[in-house]
Amino acid sequence: MKGFAGPDGQKFDAALGLDAQHQPVLLPAAESKPTTATDPGQIPCPVCKLGTMLRGSSAYGCSRFREDCQFRVPFAWGGKELTDTQLKQLLRRGETGVIKGFVSAKTGKKYDAALKVDEGRVVPVFG
Ligand SMILES: [Zn+2]
């Protein structure tokens, strides 16, 4: 839990627990067990919702790739290196803003598009 306001008005993070008399008490965050669920660095898989996205050498891939989820997002798409910000927007929100300068593999022409996750694939969205 986050955002409790202390007596001095300072916000602090804490977990709720029970003391020896079974009264609810606030446990300071430092004494509660760390959990990976609240790790801000972890990005849940937008496709299976069960795995987390792991950063590989050339793509983000779902941690459940050995099971049933083949979702991956290459760092380079459409002839362009995506920034970490763009990759995280795509993974966290399911889409990016418009990205300029993709190159069509068919025609060699440059084009601008947003990217979104659609049925487990990364697809361009044209405004
Ligand atoms: Zn997945």
pLDDT, tens digit, 9 for 90 and up, residues 68-100: 999 999 999 999 999 999 999 999 999 999 999
Give me the pLDDT at residue 10, please. Answer: 62
Pairwise CA distance, residues 90 & 117, whole Å: 7
CA of 28 relative to ligand 1 center, distance in Å:
33
Which residues are found with C-beta within 5 Å of the ion, ligand 1?
45, 47-48, 51, 62, 64, 69, 71
Compute the distance from residue 97 Cα to the ligand 1 centre, in Å.
Answer: 23
Distance (Å) of CA 14 to CA 19, 20, 21, 42: 14, 18, 19, 20
Report residue 36's pLDDT band, with 50, 70 and 90 as the boundaries: very low
Phi, psi of 123 (to 5 degrees): -130, 150
pTM: 0.66
Q: Please check whether residue 42 is in contact with residue 30, taking contact to mean a CB–CB distance below 8 angstroms.
A: no
Q: How far is the CA of 44 from the centre of ligand 1 (A)?
A: 8
Q: Is the pLDDT of residue 27 over 80?
A: no
- Which DSSP string corresponds to 6-62? -TTS-EE-EEEEE-TTS-EEEEEGGGSPP-STT-TT-EE-TTTSSSEEEE-SSEEEE
